[in-house]
Amino acid sequence: MKVLLYCINFSPEQIGIGKYTGEMAVWLSRQGHDVHVVTAPPYYPEWQIAYGYKPRRFFFEDLNGCKVYRCPICVPSKPSALTRVLHLASFAASSFIVVLRQIFWKPDIVFVVEPPLFCAPAALLVARLSGSTAWLHVQDFEVAAFFGLGFAKAGLFKKMVVWFEGWLMCLFDHVSTISNSMLDRIHNLDVLPDNTSLFPNWVNTTDVRPRTTFNGLKKAWGITDNQKIVLYAGNMGKKQGLDQVLQVANILTNSRHDILFLLVGDGVDKENLIQQAQQLSLNNLVFKPVQPSDVFTDLLSLADVHLVIQLRGAADAVMPSKLTGILAAGGAAVITADAETELGRFVENNPGIAVRVEPENVEALLLGITELIDNEDRRRICSKMARQYAEHNLSKDSILCEFESTAKKLNNKKLHKHNN
């Protein structure tokens, strides 16, 4: 098959959506499919264009057998609601002509990733003019996140935007997303269930697994054997609410000298968090940059307790991608989520797999962390259940094989329709 992948985030980004689109493209190429990618230069989670790439240039590269077309993008140094919209719109505008040129290549599948929804109309146009299947994959409901996090007020404007989102989705031949609650939301936008599927984030369960042998990072970072590590690894943005972790660290700084908080990653809020930590004189909290992929398992294996933390309102807008790695590594996690959210239902449906606490509640977060870190038997149960869940539900090969099978069925259906 000829697969056109249209997305704003792509390799070599290691965090978030870019990790999955990159791995997906390479996997499809290795299965013998012809893959073209229209994307932006890598910029996430640092919110600055990666070294060696130009923000205002069109250029082409061959990446692991995939033909990759990079398009200019505006990357704000300090993203706000308005600058994020301009950021997404700039890519949609700059990539429009590039993606339209793919009509002459005649792809079988046009696979576009939301965010940004701005790219959906161009993807539909290419699919209709080339006679291919239009597939929208929702990694994040940007409309829901936009209103849920208070970037804009609800009312008539929200109703209009939500209506437009649903109308646009109904034009696609197929719509997929990463969790059951997100799939329910798509159905509530009047997309027919027969035209939808679950396409969850995955993890390489062969490479990422529980590790009890020597850990190179532990030695390199001067972590002693008697220290218990509470790890957050991922994007440090506003919606994570990581200032709560600083508050917990501040409460424990004099009473629990055995606990070390480790925050690894990058993002728009990192500098602010560092300044807060300095003001509080936290000697039990350490920041580290994004780590190379070859030490990913070492990083996850450092933790006695993992944190999956988000603000209320963002908790059901997306299923955090960091959770897949934690589960594969057999991590014991404290998850902040309300009971009715996707994360809340995940914990409820898999009793013992993690500890769920109320979001935006520092006392609950403190209690969840300390109870789990002091209960080795509970951590052992969490670890066993997490690994089993990852092996049965999150295997990279099984998920991508299912995607390939669905894509082939859709393509055959389209060919049959054209022949008749």
Q: Where are the beta strands (DSSP E) in 64-147?
A: 66-70, 109-114, 133-138
Identify whether 409 is part of a domain: yes
Residue 50's Cβ-side half-sphere holds a number of Cα atoms within 13 Å equal to: 14
Mind listing the pLDDT tens digit for each residue in 378-417?
999 999 999 999 999 999 999 999 999 999 999 888 877 7
The answer on 155 and 51 residing in a single domain is yes
Confidence of residue 296 (pLDDT cuts 50, 70, 90): confident
**Confidence check: pLDDT of 150 > 60:** no
Amino acid occupying residue 394: L
Mind listing the pLDDT tens digit for each residue in 209-228?
887 665 678 888 988 889 99
Mean pLDDT of the chain: 90
The answer on 319 and 289 residing in a single domain is yes
Mind listing the pLDDT tens digit for each residue in 47-97?
899 988 988 889 999 998 999 999 999 999 877 777 888 999 999 999 999
The answer on 387 and 406 residing in a single domain is no
The answer on 374 and 403 residing in a single domain is no
Structure tokens at 238: 């506003």
Location of structure tokens 């594969």: 328
Helices 270-279, 243-252: inter-axial angle, 10-degree rounding: 20
Q: DSSP characters for 359-378?
A: TT-HHHHHHHHHHHHT-HHH
Q: Which pLDDT does position 148 carry in this prediction?
A: 57
Identify whether 185 is part of a domain: yes
The answer on 139 and 262 residing in a single domain is no
Mind listing the pLDDT tens digit for each residue in 27-47?
999 999 999 999 999 999 888
Split into its structural domains, the chain has a count of 2
**Confidence check: pLDDT of 163 > 60:** yes
Average pLDDT over residues 340-355: 91
Q: Which pLDDT does position 360 carry in this prediction?
A: 94
pLDDT > 90: what percent of the chain? 68
Identify whether 374 is part of a domain: yes
**Confidence check: pLDDT of 151 > 70:** no
Strand partners, 39: 70
The answer on 408 and 337 residing in a single domain is no
The answer on 399 and 349 residing in a single domain is no
The answer on 372 and 348 residing in a single domain is yes
Widest distance between CA atoms in the chain: 75
Residue 352 Ramachandran class (φ > 0 left, ψ -120 to 50 alpha, else beta): left
Q: Which pLDDT does position 19 carry in this prediction?
A: 92
The CA-CA-CA angle for residues 210, 290, 307, to 5°, reads 55
Structure tokens at 384: 């066993």
Confidence of residue 133 (pLDDT cuts 50, 70, 90): very high
Rounded to a whole number of angstroms, the distance between the first and last alpha carbons of the chain is 21
Identify whether 209 is part of a domain: no
Q: Rounded distance, CA 167 to CA 318, Å? A: 21
Residue pair 343/311 in contact (Cβ under 8 Å)? The answer is no
Q: Rounded distance, CA 276 to CA 167, Å? A: 44
The answer on 333 and 361 residing in a single domain is yes
Mind listing the pLDDT tens digit for each residue in 265-282?
998 899 999 999 999 999
The answer on 182 and 123 residing in a single domain is yes
Q: Which pLDDT does position 256 carry in this prediction?
A: 94
Domain CATH code at residue 167: 3.40.50.2000
pTM of the prediction?
A: 0.83
Q: Rounded distance, CA 40 to CA 238, Å? A: 23
Q: Rounded distance, CA 9 to CA 19, Å? A: 8
Q: Which pLDDT does position 268 carry in this prediction?
A: 87
The answer on 401 and 388 residing in a single domain is no
Q: Which pLDDT does position 144 carry in this prediction?
A: 64
Average pLDDT over residues 350-366: 96
Q: Rounded distance, CA 281 to CA 251, Å? A: 12
Q: Which pLDDT does position 42 carry in this prediction?
A: 95
Q: Which pLDDT does position 121 carry in this prediction?
A: 95
Tell whether the torsion through CA atoms of 8, 13, 16 and 21 is positive or negative: positive
Parent domain of 107? 2-202+395-419
The answer on 198 and 233 residing in a single domain is no
Structure tokens at 142: 């940007």
Residue 393, phi then psi, degrees to nearest 5: -125, -15
382: closest CA among 352, 345, 347?
352
**Confidence check: pLDDT of 363 > 80:** yes
Amino acid occupying residue 263: L
Q: How many residues does the chain have?
A: 420
Q: Rounded distance, CA 245 to CA 264, Å? A: 13
Residue pair 321/16 in contact (Cβ under 8 Å)? The answer is yes
Q: DSSP characters for 160-229?
A: HHHHHHHHHHHTSSEEEESSHHHHHHHHHTT--GGGEEE----B-TTTS----S--HHHHHTT--TTPEE
- Which helix (H) or strand (E) segment holds residue 396: the answer is helix 396-419
Identify whether 208 is part of a domain: no
**Confidence check: pLDDT of 343 > 60:** yes
**Confidence check: pLDDT of 419 > 80:** no
Confidence of residue 190 (pLDDT cuts 50, 70, 90): very high
- Which helix (H) or strand (E) segment holds residue 22: the answer is helix 17-30
Identify whether 196 is part of a domain: yes
Identify whether 357 is part of a domain: yes
Confidence of residue 318 (pLDDT cuts 50, 70, 90): low
Identify whether 207 is part of a domain: no
Determine which of 259-268, 269-278, 286-295 has the lowest per-residue pLDDT on average.
286-295
